[in-house]
Amino acid sequence: MSQASQTGAAGVAAPAETTAAPPAADQAPVSPQPTSASPSIEAQTPAQRKMYTPQRLRLLSLGVVVAGLVIGLIGALTFAYLALSLSRAKADTAQLIRVQKIQSNLLSADATATNAFLVGGLEPPAQRAAYDQAMSSTSSLIAEAARAQPADGSALAALNQQVVNYAVAIEQARANNRQGLPVGAQYLRNASAELRADTLPILDNLVSANTARAADEMQAGAGYIVLILAVLALGAVIAAQIWLARTFKRTINVGMVASAAVLLLIVIGSLVAVLQLRGALNEISTGSLAAVNTAADTRIDANNAKSNESLTLIARGSGQAFEAAWKSSADSVTGNLARLSGKPELASQWQAYADVHTQIRELDDGGQWDKAVAKATGSGKDSSNTVFGTFDSNLASYLDGVSMDASNSLADEQPIMIVAAILVLLGGVAVALLGRWGVSERLKEYR
Amino acid sequence: MRLQWRRPLLALAAVASLSALSACTAFTYSPTPLPSEAPTQQPAPSAPASPAACRENPLASYAPGGPLPTPETLPNGSTMAKIQKRGRLVAGVSADTYLLGSRNPFTGEIEGFDIDMVKAVAKAIFGNENRYQLKVITAAQRIPALEKGDVDIVARNMTINCDRWKQIAFSSEYYRSGQKILVRKGSKANSLNDLDGQKVCAPIGTSSMDNLIKKAPKVIPVGADTHTGCLVLFQEGQVAAITGDDTVLAGLAAQDPYAVVPDQRAFTEEPYGLGFNEKDVDFVRFVNARLEEMRTDGEWTRIYDRWLRGSLGPAPKPPIPVYGRTR
């Protein structure tokens, strides 16, 4: 019985142990219960029994030490692994946020470029500056992202190529527009169309890859290994204590009981740590991280809609496809905003922009294209740019806020896992030492 | 005893390093996939338009009812009188066909050959060529806009044909366009056949593309959304030539000093007419009288010279009007 529980307690180290202690293994099949009244044992002389029990005690001592050390090491490794996973989840989340930022930057640049185009050959300096800012921030984010996640390398290289193509096409559009040539509008349309057809799919892949990576890292399941090992060891130590009590007619072996108590603490502690981590990760992924994804999607759709508003006006009477695209983006913005709890003002700010857009469409459809353009490109209080700008900058700062929350909450879990790793290591060593001491007290009787 | 101690420890170390190793391989992510290449759009001829059986010559319009009345002597109750009473002529035009009807980004005005036609009609009704309002419409909106009465007149490089006569009315022909090719400066090609084996662009789903595939099977057709899209491909060196109505090609050539429309015979005929609601026969007769005046007093030639001479060469003779349509 003790033999069986020992191998169980040693867990992973069991095969090693059997080869390490050939005498024990050889004896095992022929050794029945020490205190049982089996005839073979009755036949043994007391001297023979005396030879047997110290061997068993040594084996028990070894078993407790191995079990304690295994729990300590595997436990420490597991919690260290969880801490590492958390830091990787944090890095993956940061990369996800970075990639989403590239996406909304590009669409914001496109919205600015198309809007400036409507004004004519001489674009407003402020809009030019906003476009340049969005593009240069895109470039540095791509470089940053490539450094942060080598697995994104080839996708980011392809993305970079697309961004360069886009910037070149926009410059050609600008140069032609400055000379008053309608082909400029075509370069702009092509650039916008390629941005949506070729560039955004790369970004979508980057977003989903990093979302999946972060989700994979945000798992607490590994922690159950410690729990299972500790429960098994606890069972074995209790069984050993019972055997000692029967063999030596002493009810309590202090070392063994203390060892069992430490194991119980490890069981409870790791259960608490794992459940706590699970709860926290669940809260992050359904809370701040979900908000990050929704807000990023909203910002992307909103800027997409703003670009399409300008493209509709640029196409002048042939822009139904762009207006349809505006509607579908706007619908998804409205849907997303409804899911962003705690930010009702964003919904009303978006509605204000949607109202301005409706006015622009009414003016344009009513044959007053010039007035529609003035409303779409002006910088007055109720112009499309101003109203949209309010919404977009508020959404951007909200996005920054929830991104920070997600990253901070992940960071908060890390020290807990590191402390757990250290404690379980110390606990394992304590189990080993206490158990060994407890057994050695009995071994002394044979000296 | 000592030996027994050491071995399990070694085993433990092995397990630990093994788990660390397996963790390491799990620590490199598989690379982010790239989107698969989208198949490129291949131009195919659109369904062949069945040539409508014409009972009459499609070019035949309603004959002018005598000399052009002055703005003061417009017949009472006529369409022109109603327009005069409203104070402006409402015209459906294009804003992205360079030289025919496109927005001048410096002035914000829509201008071109077609717009000058609108001005000429406005002058006949009001005595002032600026009494007009433009509505930018797509090619597909031309007929519905006339049928619904959203516009009085459509001046948007519209080809006269039998099918359209069933829904709307046309003025006499005001410009004879035809499909030609545009090539790089210095190219010796001056017909489609000279471009065998080369890439030629036309907008997808237009008669220009159909003609290209039909008349030059050895040319590699390349599609774009619009003619301006073709110009972008041409400037990027992706196509050797563009084909389309000579007026449209003139607009493209005017935007690129290295694009020329060489001297050539058009391989199709596209007679342009002004479009009207089919009930406004009095207005059609009035406009035909105005066009007659413009042909004889040289105004037509002046308008041609202003917009098209630079790209298409000296003005041809104005198209000869055909009348004889009766209701």
pTM over 0.80: no
| Burial (CB count within 10 angstroms: exposed 0-12, middle 13-18, buried 19+), residue A87 | middle
Contacts of B86 in chain A (CB under 8 A): none
Distance separating alpha carbons of residues A285 and A283, to the nearest angstrom? 6
Give B229's contacts in chain A (Cβ within 8 Å): 186, 189-190
Please check whether residues B230 and B111 belong to one and the same domain: no
Residue B17 within any structural domain of the chain: no
Query: Each residue of B118-152: pLDDT tens digit?
Result: 999 999 999 999 999 888 887 778 899 999 998 99
- Contact at CB, A186 and B15, closer than 8 angstroms: no
Q: CB distance A62–B5 less than 8 Å?
A: yes
User: Taking CB atoms and an 8 Å cutoff, what residues of chain A touch B1?
Assistant: 58
Provide the 10 A C-beta neighbour count for residue A340.
18
Q: How many structural domains does chain B have?
A: 2
Query: Quick check: A201 and B35 CB within 8 A?
Result: yes
Give the residue from B141, B142, B143, B121 showing the smallest Cα distance to B132.
B121
| CB-based contact B108:A120 (threshold 8 Å) | yes
Q: Is the pLDDT of residue B185 over 80?
A: yes
Does residue B1 form part of some domain?
no
In whole angstroms, what is the distance from residue B118 CA to residue B112 CA?
A: 10
The boundaries of the domain holding residue B125 are 60-177+271-319
pLDDT at position B15: 53
| Contact status of B26 with chain A (Cβ, < 8 Å) | no
Does the pLDDT at position A339 exceed 90? no
The predicted model gives B292-309 an average pLDDT of 94
Q: At A304, list the tokens.
A: 């997409």
Boundary-marking domain end, from B260, B289, B307: B260
Domain match, B234 and B165 both: no
Cβ-Cβ contacts under 8 Å for B293 (sequence gap 6 or more): B68, B299
Q: Are residues B85 and B166 in the same domain?
A: yes
Cα(A103)–Cα(A97) distance, rounded to whole angstroms? 10
Which residues partner with B203 through β-bridges?
A: B224
What are the angstrom distances between the C-alpha of A352 and each of A94, A299, A392? Answer: 32, 16, 12
Q: At residue A81, does pLDDT exceed 90?
A: yes
Contacts of A183 in chain B (CB under 8 A): 228, 231-232, 235, 252, 255-256
* Judgement on whether residues B102 and B156 belong to the same structural domain of the protein: yes
> Same domain for B250 and B310?
no
- Which of A53-62, A274-283, B222-231 reaches the highest mean pLDDT? A274-283
From B224's Cα to the closest Cα of chain A, the distance in A is: 11
Residue B43 Cα distances to A321, B181, B212, angstroms: 21, 18, 11
Question: Which domain-ending residue is among B260, B292, B310?
Answer: B260
Tell me, yes or no, whether B66 lies in a domain. yes
pLDDT in tens, A118-149: 877 677 888 889 999 999 999 999 999 999 99
Which of B4, B27, B96 lies closest to A182 in CB terms? B96
3-class DSSP state for residue A266? helix
**B84 and B170 housed in the same domain:** yes
Residue B41 lies in a domain: no
Which range scores top for mean pLDDT: A43-47, A366-370, B34-38, B261-265? B261-265
Q: Which residues contact B197 (CB under 8 A, 6 or more apart)?
A: B218, B219, B220
Do the domain assignments include residue B44?
A: no
Instruction: Place B263 in a pLDDT band, splitting at 50, 70 and 90.
Output: confident
Q: Among B236, B260, B284, give the residue marking a domain's end.
A: B260
pLDDT at residue B16, as a whole number:
54
- The reported pLDDT for the residue numbered B124 is 95
Reported ipTM exceeds the 0.90 cut: no
**Cα of A186 to nearest chain B Cα, Å:** 6
* Residue showing tokens 């701040």: A288
Q: Are residues B168 and B279 in the same domain?
A: yes
Cβ–Cβ gap A182/B255 under 8 Å: yes
Collect contacts of A347-351 with beta carbons under 8 A, ≥24 apart: A349/A387, A349/A390, A349/A391, A349/A394, A350/A302, A350/A391
Q: State the amino acid at position A268 in one-letter form.
A: I
pLDDT tens digits, B153-177:
999 988 898 888 999 999 999 999 9
CB contacts of A88 in chain B (<8 Å) are 27
Phi then psi for residue A161, to 5 deg, are: -60, -45
Is residue B69 located within the same domain as residue B124? yes
**Chain B from 135 to 164: CB within 8 A of any A CB:** 135-138, 141
Q: Are residues B226 and B122 in the same domain?
A: no
Residue type, A307: S
Q: Residue B197's domain is classified under what CATH number?
A: 3.40.190.10
* Number of neighbouring beta carbons within 10 Å of residue A57: 20
Query: How far does A121 lie from chain B, in Å, by closest CA?
Result: 7
Phi, psi (rounded to 5 degrees) for B60: -70, 125
Our CA-based measurement puts residue B218 at a distance from the nearest CA of chain A, in whole angstroms, of 28
> Is the per-residue pLDDT at A11 higher than 60?
no
- The greatest distance separating any two alpha carbons of chain B, rounded to the nearest whole angstrom, comes to 130
Reduce the DSSP state of residue B268 to 3 states and report it: coil
Give the percent of chain B with pLDDT over 70. 86
Q: Are residues B162 and B288 in the same domain?
A: yes
Among residues A14, A28, A10, the alpha carbon closest in space to that of A65 is found at: A10
* Rounded Cα gap, residues B8 and A5, in angstroms: 17
In a domain, B42, yes or no: no
What are the CB-based long-range contacts (under 8 Å, 24+) for A146-153?
Answer: A148/A91, A148/A94, A148/A95, A148/A98, A149/A91, A149/A92, A149/A95, A149/A210, A149/B29, A150/B28, A151/A209, A151/B28, A151/B29, A151/B30, A151/B31, A151/B32, A152/A95, A152/A99, A152/A206, A152/A209, A152/A210, A152/B31, A152/B32, A153/B31
Task: From chain A, pick out residues whose CB is under 8 angstroms from the CB of B226.
Answer: 186
Instruction: Judge whether A403 and A292 are in contact, CB under 8 Å.
Output: yes
